[in-house]
Structure 1
């Protein structure tokens, strides 16, 4: 999780620099060109300023949410954030490994799924031996949890 907070902080730093240094200079240059009603540079800079402000708000909110995650609240014997789970997918008749991560880190091709994805939501709170039914865009899938390694196991 440190990686994701570091990436978010780097993006925040870049956007704050753009908002406080680059965009004011662009707006000042555009204003110097005269008539603002037909000044494309001015309107583009103002639109970018609105976008950057909105994105900064999203990033800061997400950082706040991530700071609230406490390892003590993640179960030791059930699927939760940071868990690696091996499931048997009945529809595909194969064993698949998933690691539950934040939405920013998810990459299905690498087996990294978000805790808020359909599969992630179905697995959270379950134990080895449980069978879950997951509704995906391709239909319902039955998965049996074969093995579980929690975030606590991987940090010990």
Structure 2
């Protein structure tokens, strides 16, 4: 049984758009590559044909994975969430106690995580360590480089 994953409206739209692109333009492009390679002669010695068929397999695997993710996806209703605790979709402002650096992140599902955009996965060590914390709490989080301590400075939606 697949695990239910929670998304924002924006994240769900991105997944649906990617799936539509893969099923439409993506499949057409792969079919064209296979046809071009097939036209080049003997298929038993045609590396280009083999590469195109491999690409098709990977493409279909990505489509199946996206369909499974969407089948088990739920959009989070932020209006029903407790804003006093760090939960999925919370915007959290934290301070690294060791170096004093202040950072802000939004906790999102694994598929929406993008560190450059300030979105970290709720399944990452830091994301898991922050879940359930309230303003003023100190989270001690075991990361690959050792133990880190973060103070929760603010939580918003």
Distance across 2 between alignment mates of 1:65 and 1:42: 35
2:137 to 126, 130, 155: 130
Structure holding more helix per residue: 1
TM-score (ref. length: structure 1): 0.80
Quote the offset at 1:122 in angstroms: 0.6
Residue in 2 that maps onto 1:116: 123
Quote the offset at 1:104 in angstroms: 3.7
Contact 2:94 2:154 in 1 (8 A): yes
CA 1:48–1:81 in 2, change beyond 3 Å: closer, same or farther?
same
Within 5 A, what are the aligned runs for 1:136-147? 136-147=143-154
Contact 2:83 2:155 in 1 (8 A): no
Which deviations, in whole Å up to 9, do the C-alpha atoms of 1:71-126 show, x marking residues without a partner?
A: 26643331111111122321112332222123343333443222121111111122
Quote the offset at 1:20 in angstroms: 4.1
Quote the offset at 1:18 in angstroms: 4.3
Residue in 1 that maps onto 2:50: 43
Residue in 2 that maps onto 1:6: 13
Give the unaligned 5+ runs of structure 1: 152-156
Count of matched residue pairs: 149
**1:93 counterpart = 2:100:** yes
Which deviations, in whole Å up to 9, do the C-alpha atoms of 1:27-58 show, x marking residues without a partner?
A: 23433433211012211111011010111112
Residue in 2 that maps onto 1:154: none
Give the unaligned 5+ runs of structure 2: 1-7
Contact 2:12 2:75 in 1 (8 A): no
Distance across 1 between alignment mates of 2:45 and 2:131: 54
Instruction: For residue 9 of structure 1, give the secondary structure of its aligned residue in structure 2.
Output: helix
Give the superposed CA RMSD.
2.3
Distance across 2 between alignment mates of 1:138 and 1:109: 20
Distance across 2 between alignment mates of 1:93 and 1:39: 59
> Is the deviation greater in 81-90 or in 13-22?
13-22
TM-score (ref. length: structure 2): 0.79
